[in-house]
């Protein structure tokens, strides 16, 4: 914890406003939260709060207790509370002040100061039978209901003695404007930071007296669909976080504002769906190498079948094949991950057009005309009955480039970009950005994106060697800022970054004007305390080494990729640089004596530095001449 004096050095000004004030709002007012470690207000919800309001009330109670020591009571409006009221979610009290959830767009929220009241509210998903019946699957394939995770809240935040059993969280892709308002309030006015899922990763000041003031804030996240669900599945993040529970992870995703607008686009035509749903002969590929994996995408019967599946989904009739992706207004069409395509006369004629569109890069257009003609044909049929719905697909691999013909207006495309290569592979970066710009011109529907953060860690895990940490936090922020400002509606992250880069990306997705250097400076000061300065220098030196294109000359870098294993320990983690980095780790080790800084430093040292030392030693041992 930090004292008020220490905290004042980095807490953002209380009157900071991310968007214009509300029309008719009161002049900047103050609201008492706690005085001398005692509650000075009451948290109030409706008699039957939405899932978002219910969670928000608990998050406020817990985190304001961390900051002030005050146990602020949570009441419903039926309890007729008096005095200063922290109104959470829509209720009779907020309606009397002119605030209704229906008046807000999806993901829009307000933090509003009124006389003797503070309002945290947005549009929330209502728990009704009708809403429960809505089906869909996001990129990762779970049902909407499965994404309404159940947790024991008080056990998850480290206070099992307060447990009242499990509660259902608002779904990741359910409207939860009240949660967005609550997390904004806790960050902006109470100084809380969430750098990971466990209590160890939460940073907050300590101050017995807390009165907040400001002008009204009404805004929504810059990016509407935010799908980077860090789970500690890859070594760096897993090691940096240390121990955490599944319930803590679910809370962390919501605190990072993950989820948002409903959209999905991932592989749909694969063996399971073909064998269960597309058994008629007229749908089948004529290529014996791919029967059961691909279909005849020039088949009019297949177009009609898939269009009817989309209509049934949009009409709420259910019946999505196992593994099929569709969510909200988007019904996904993505082929299986191979090029053993149908060789009937129609398909062969369409595929022949793409032979000249091979670029030598992973992302080219050799089957773009073939694939997107099928997508367009389905979209045209669906638009006849559902003009406000979309067929979603990817711009990926051999169909990464736009086709030569216009796209239908009800097609939403997500180009797949190798953002992890951008700083160090100019050819791949330029090829990706060129196809991205072409899609911006060609696509008439809303644009989403799939971004790769899988290399070098993915090949390292598959081939069982240890890579050099590919820290590229500034390049990540630059790319994400560009995408949000270009009007991209949503992004799915493929892969997993380190703890800080993942956090920075989430912050930029929420607000593209985020000062990244200030966020980095704040993180190291708060998270590592006296060891913050050498840890920051260590981290930024990793970034400087990893993102310098001069460290990736031929033959380490080739047109279609990088020899990550050789470049890691021959060009990046050289003996001289390892000595330099070792000195910084030693400085941090000496400074990180008090808890929780010691524990956090130890986790980072193990996850990054010990990994690097082992990786270099193993590589050099593998290169040593073998004894005769």
Query: What confidence tens digit (pLDDT) does each residue in 365-385 have?
Result: 999 999 999 999 999 999 999
| Residue 339 backbone zone (phi > 0: left; psi -120 to 50: alpha; other: beta) | alpha
Judged against a pLDDT cut of 70, whether residue 20 lies above it is answered with no
Could you report the per-residue pLDDT of 517-533, keeping only the tens digit for each? 999 999 999 999 999 99
Could you report the per-residue pLDDT of 30-52, keeping only the tens digit for each? 999 999 999 999 999 999 999 99
Place of tokens 């100061």: 113
SS3 223: coil
For residue 76, the cross-strand partners are 45
Specify the pairing of strand 225-227 against strand 259-260: antiparallel
Could you report the per-residue pLDDT of 538-547, keeping only the tens digit for each? 999 999 999 9
pLDDT of residue 22: 36
Whether 423 contacts 549, CB under 8 Å = yes
Phi, then psi, of 334 in degrees rounded to 5:
-145, 130
Phi, then psi, of 66 in degrees rounded to 5:
-60, -45
SS3 294: strand
Rg of the chain (C-alpha set): 26
- Both tokens of 376, joined, read 């367009």
Judged against a pLDDT cut of 50, whether residue 445 lies above it is answered with yes
pLDDT of residue 6: 42
Whether 575 contacts 582, CB under 8 Å = no
Residue 260: which H helix or E strand, with range? strand 259-260
Rounded distance between C-alpha atoms, residue 107 and residue 178, angstroms? 9
Distances (CA, A) of 570 to 24, 468, 553, 578: 63, 10, 11, 12
Judged against a pLDDT cut of 70, whether residue 7 lies above it is answered with no
Rounded distance between C-alpha atoms, residue 466 and residue 240, angstroms? 16
Whether 407 contacts 445, CB under 8 Å = yes
Judged against a pLDDT cut of 50, whether residue 211 lies above it is answered with yes
Could you report the per-residue pLDDT of 79-123, keeping only the tens digit for each? 999 999 999 999 999 999 999 999 999 999 999 999 999 999 999
Q: What percent of the chain is predicted at pLDDT more than 90?
A: 91
DSSP state of 2: B
Residue 194's nearest CA partner among 109, 147, 257, 124 is: 257
Residue spans of beta strands (DSSP E) within 427-489: 448-453
CB neighbours (10 Å) of residue 513?
Answer: 10
pTM above 0.85, yes or no: yes
Judged against a pLDDT cut of 50, whether residue 23 lies above it is answered with no
- Both tokens of 319, joined, read 């019946």
Specify the pairing of strand 557-558 against strand 561-562: antiparallel
pLDDT of residue 174: 98
Rounded distance between C-alpha atoms, residue 221 and residue 213, angstroms? 22
Rounded distance between C-alpha atoms, residue 622 and residue 618, angstroms? 6
Rounded distance between C-alpha atoms, residue 569 and residue 552, angstroms? 12
pLDDT of residue 572: 98
pLDDT of residue 578: 98
pLDDT of residue 28: 63
Could you report the per-residue pLDDT of 275-330, keeping only the tens digit for each? 999 999 999 999 988 778 999 999 999 999 999 999 999 999 988 998 999 999 99
pLDDT of residue 456: 98
Whether 448 contacts 492, CB under 8 Å = yes
pLDDT of residue 396: 98
Rounded distance between C-alpha atoms, residue 209 and residue 69, angstroms? 9
- Both tokens of 468, joined, read 């050099």
What average pLDDT does this structure show over 476-488? 98
Judged against a pLDDT cut of 50, whether residue 10 lies above it is answered with no
pLDDT of residue 627: 66
Residue 48's nearest CA partner among 67, 86, 76, 23 is: 76
Report CA 77 to chain centroid distance, whole Å.
Answer: 35
């Amino acid at each position: 914890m930090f004292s008020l004096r220490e905290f004042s050095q980095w807490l953002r000004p209380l009157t900071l406003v991310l968007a214009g004030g509300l029309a008719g709002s009161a002049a900047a007012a103050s609201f008492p939260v706690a005085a001398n470690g005692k509650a000075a207000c009451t948290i109030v919800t409706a008699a039957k709060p939405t899932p978002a309001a219910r969670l928000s009330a608990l998050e406020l109670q817990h985190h304001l207790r961390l900051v002030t020591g005050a146990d602020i009571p949570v009441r419903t409006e039926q309890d007729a509370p008096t005095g200063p009221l922290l109104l959470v979610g829509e209720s009779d009290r907020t309606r009397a002040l002119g605030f209704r959830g229906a008046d807000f767009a999806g993901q829009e929220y307000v933090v509003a100061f009124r006389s003797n009241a503070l309002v945290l509210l947005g549009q929330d998903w209502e728990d009704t039978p009708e809403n429960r019946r809505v089906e869909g699957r996001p990129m990762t394939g779970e049902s909407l209901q499965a994404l309404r995770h159940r947790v024991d809240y008080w056990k998850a935040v480290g206070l099992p003695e307060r447990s009242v059993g499990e509660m259902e969280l608002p779904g990741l892709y359910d409207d939860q404007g009240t949660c967005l308002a609550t997390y904004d309030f806790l960050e902006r006015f109470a100084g809380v930071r969430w750098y990971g899922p466990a209590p160890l990763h939460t940073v907050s000041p300590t101050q017995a007296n807390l009165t907040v003031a400001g002008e009204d804030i009404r805004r929504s996240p810059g990016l509407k669909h935010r799908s980077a669900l860090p789970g500690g599945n890859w070594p760096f993040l897993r090691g940096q976080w240390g121990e955490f529970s599944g319930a803590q992870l679910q809370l962390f995703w919501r605190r990072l504002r993950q989820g948002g607008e409903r959209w999905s686009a991932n592989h749909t035509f694969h063996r399971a769906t073909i064998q269960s749903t597309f058994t008629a002969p007229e749908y089948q590929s004529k290529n014996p190498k791919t029967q059961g994996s691909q279909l005849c995408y020039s088949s009019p019967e297949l177009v009609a079948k898939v269009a009817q599946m989309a209509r049934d989904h949009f009409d709420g009739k259910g019946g999505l094949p196992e593994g099929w992706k569709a969510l909200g207004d988007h019904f996904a069409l993505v082929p299986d991950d191979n090029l053993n395509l149908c060789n009937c006369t129609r398909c062969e004629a369409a595929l022949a057009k793409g032979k000249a569109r091979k670029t030598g890069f992973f992302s080219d257009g050799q089957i773009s005309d073939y694939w997107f003609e099928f997508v367009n044909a389905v979209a045209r049929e669906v638009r006849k009955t559902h003009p406000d719905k979309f067929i979603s697909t990817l711009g990926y691999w051999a169909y990464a480039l736009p086709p030569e013909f216009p796209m239908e207006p009800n097609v939403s495309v997500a180009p797949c970009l190798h953002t992890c290569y951008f700083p160090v592979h100019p050819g791949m970066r330029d090829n990706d950005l060129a196809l991205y710009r072409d899609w911006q011109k060609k696509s008439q529907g809303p644009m989403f994106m799939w971004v790769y953060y899988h290399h070098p860690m993915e090949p390292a895990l598959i081939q069982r060697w240890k890579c050099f940490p590919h820290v590229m936090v500034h390049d990540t922020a630059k790319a994400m800022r560009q995408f949000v400002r270009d009007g991209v509606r949503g992004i799915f992250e493929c892969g997993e970054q380190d703890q800080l880069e993942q956090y920075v990306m989430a912050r930029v997705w929420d607000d593209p004007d985020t000062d990244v250097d200030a966020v980095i400076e704040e993180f190291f000061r708060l998270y590592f305390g006296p060891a913050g300065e050498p840890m920051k220098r260590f981290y930024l030196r990793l970034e400087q080494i990893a993102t310098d294109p001069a460290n990736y000359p031929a033959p380490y870098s080739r047109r279609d990729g990088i020899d990550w294993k050789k470049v890691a320990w021959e060009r990046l983690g050289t003996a001289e640089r390892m000595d330099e980095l070792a000195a910084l780790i030693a400085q941090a080790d000496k400074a990180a004596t008090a808890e929780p800084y010691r524990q956090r430093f130890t986790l980072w040292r193990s996850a990054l530095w010990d990994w690097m030392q082992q990786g270099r030693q193993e590589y050099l041992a593998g290169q040593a001449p073998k004894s005769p």
